[in-house]
Amino acid sequence: MRVEQHYELQTPQIIGEQMFPTRLAEVSASEVLAVIQNEAAETLDFELKRALPTKKGGADPWMIGGKLGDEAKDELAAEIIAFANTVGGTLIVGVDEDTATKRAKPPLFPIPRCKEAAARLHQAISDRIEPKLPVFECEGVVTETDGTSGVIIMRTLESYLAPHRHSQNNHCYVRRNDRAEPMSMLEIQEMTRQKARSAADAGQAFKDSSERFFSWLPNEHQRVHPYNGLQGVYQAGGDSRAWISIWALRVTARPLAPFLLADLLKQPWLTQIGANAFVGNGQIRQLTWRDLKTIRAWAPRLRAVERDLEGTNCFGKDRVTSEGLIERFIWQKRIESPKPRVDFLDITELLWNVACVVHAAQVIRKANARPTQQFALEIELMNSDPLHVHGYTNAPSATIPAGTVLFPRYEVGEAQDLNELILTVDKDVWNLGGQHPTWELGVNWPP
């Protein structure tokens, strides 16, 4: 039975991976119908298939109650590999194309039990791709009145682990115009070199961020030997026994796949990168920066935008670049006489700054229809004096030695994993002080 036209049509952006701005699991039947209504054309990053592929002609066994055929699994895996090795893309099974124009045309050709078929294809295709794809979605979208039949949509991003190969025939595929074709050995070698250069560029981007961070810190607190770090100083022109200690934090997030942002100052999502507190359940009930008083407006920089954050005893800077790099720099000072044995670190303030960068990544990928875009996250902590960690009720005693710490890199993945990410950072901070917390974190992330 064909789809009844009682859905409220929505108009997705008809360009590959941006066609469906949400996760594929949230795509509606009306959005699928809009693909046909808008006559979406096959392109480098968009593919249509009327039915599950077969090599012998006829229908795939799934269409008559059997198991999914190997031909469908193999051919669809090749298509996904080609997308991942090129610029990423979206594939819909159950929508036909006009052979002359390569544009979607009615009617739909629904797949029975589409959600079950999609789940099985997700596993089968994943098993056929080496190395494993960092991001791959495969979902069934019910479009028929029987409540189970519909289309299958697949999507992947350009992979930073490319080139990927098909485990069944050892071919690496690439997208040429609107087709998936095997790569030559020269193309594989060039892609391998290109990805190696991209990995080196990623490392350099984090290194550059670290250097910008250190240069931004107050000159009188900079220690450059034997490593970049911080030093406390006695207050100039005042009580010689008044000691100024300082700790500073850098949080840098970088997309793991190419992600270009144009006209940054004109982007409405900039206003969503706020400085609100994050609240939730668990031992950590609120993440905030209590000393923050002023948030300046975003200002243009070379292929970037920046804004300053200010408080009574703190200063910060946010930066977003046209390549999707997100940076948060902060430093916090403490003035005390005589010189104290330790400085203090409120763990909820540190985690708040990390959470702000993670949330900014969420805002950017949602606003740019890249809901599965992954980011690498790097955290650097510098402190001129030992830091006594506090902020939780009945927390154990922990003191971080003076110095500079570059945390292991993290990955910003799905929204439902963000609590786990922040909790991992939290545990790493306590581990620096010789403790291992056992509490849970619960933050209600903004939608």
Query: What was the pLDDT predicted at 442?
Result: 63
Superfamily of domain 16-183: Schlafen, AAA domain (3.30.950.30)
Cα angle at 390 between 388 and 393, to 5 degrees?
150
Quick check: bond before 134 cis, omega within 30?
no
Rounded to whole angstroms, the Cα distance separating 393 from 104 reads: 59
Two tokens, residue 268: 């409405």
Mean pLDDT for 92-102 is 94
Q: Where in the chain is the domain with CATH 3.30.950.30?
A: 16-183
Mean pLDDT for 94-113 is 94
Cβ atoms of 92 and 32 within 8 Å: the answer is: yes
When comparing pLDDT for 4 and 118, which is higher?
118
Q: What confidence tier does 6 reach under pLDDT thresholds 50, 70, 90? A: very low
Q: Is the pLDDT of residue 151 over 70?
A: yes
Mean pLDDT for 68-87 is 95
Q: What confidence tier does 160 reach under pLDDT thresholds 50, 70, 90? A: confident
Q: What confidence tier does 19 reach under pLDDT thresholds 50, 70, 90? A: confident
Residue tagged 């902020």 (tokens): 391
Q: What is the mean pLDDT of the chain?
A: 88
At 154, which amino acid appears? M
Q: What confidence tier does 436 reach under pLDDT thresholds 50, 70, 90? A: confident
- Percent of the chain at pLDDT exceeding 70: 91
Q: What confidence tier does 18 reach under pLDDT thresholds 50, 70, 90? A: low
Q: Is the pLDDT of residue 367 over 80?
A: yes
Query: What was the pLDDT predicted at 446?
Result: 65
Closest of 271, 250, 258, 408 to residue 330, by C-alpha? 250
Q: Is the pLDDT of residue 419 over 90?
A: no
Give the predicted TM-score (pTM) of the model: 0.82
Q: What confidence tier does 129 reach under pLDDT thresholds 50, 70, 90? A: very high
HSE, CB side, 13 Å, CA atoms: give it for residue 35.
33
Q: Is the pLDDT of residue 284 over 60?
A: yes
Q: Is the pLDDT of residue 1 over 70?
A: no
Mean pLDDT for 65-88 is 95
CA torsion 43-45-50-53 (nearest 10°) is 120
Rounded to whole angstroms, the Cα distance separating 88 from 156 reads: 5
Summarised one tens digit per residue, pLDDT across range 215-257 is: 999 999 999 877 889 999 988 766 567 899 999 999 999 998 8
Query: What was the pLDDT predicted at 136?
Result: 93
Summarised one tens digit per residue, pLDDT across range 26-62 is: 999 999 999 999 999 999 999 999 999 998 778 999 9
Residue 425, classed as helix, strand or coil, is helix
Mean pLDDT for 347-356 is 90
List, in order, residues 6 or more apart from 425 with CB less than 8 Å away: 351, 354, 379, 407, 410
Q: Is the pLDDT of residue 185 over 70?
A: yes
Mean pLDDT for 87-100 is 94
Query: What was the pLDDT predicted at 422?
Result: 85
Rounded to whole angstroms, the Cα distance separating 166 from 172 reads: 6
Q: What confidence tier does 14 reach under pLDDT thresholds 50, 70, 90? A: very low
Rounded to whole angstroms, the Cα distance separating 55 from 236 reads: 81
